Amino acid sequence: MIVYLNAHFVIYFIEMNPVWGLKVTTYVTDLLGRGDELAISDLTRLECQVGPLMSGNRMLLGKFTTFFQSPDVRVLPLTGAVCDRAAALRATYRFKTPDAIHLAAAIEDGCDRLVTNDAKLQSCTEITVDLLS
């Protein structure tokens, strides 16, 4: 199974967020233990790098880079097809552009599910959305 991780999920995982860090780590460990593949998009990479770049935190930026380059993580490109699908999702569900792009990348690249803590995304019927709570 291919599971798409949205940007907040990755940020919580790498930064070990006090509320979400342990939950996310357990979720990722379970996925990898089952042999599932993790997927993110180029948008995820962009969103995850902003905080460390703004604060000048090179160590944290390095942690994100290591994660993105992991053999366990597939980075999905933002293609024309992804942008077209995102536009359709945004028009249908009224999602914000980044959310529509995350969903579109997962759908277009054949992910089986997307995991997030954003309950609004569960209204999308084109992919199974797991809510981490």
Each residue's pLDDT tens digit, 26-71: 999 999 999 999 999 999 999 999 999 999 999 999 999 999 999 9
Domain 2-131 fold is Rossmann fold (3.40.50)
Average pLDDT over residues 11-34: 94
pLDDT band at 6 (very low <50, low <70, confident <90, very high): very high
Instruction: Check pLDDT > 90 for residue 5.
Output: yes
Q: What DSSP element (H or E) covers 76?
A: strand 73-76
d(CA 35, CA 12): 22
Report residue 5 as tokens.
Answer: 């991780």
Residue 88: burial class (beta carbons within 10 Å; 0-12, 13-18, 19+) = middle
Average pLDDT over residues 79-100: 98
The pLDDT of residue 133: 80
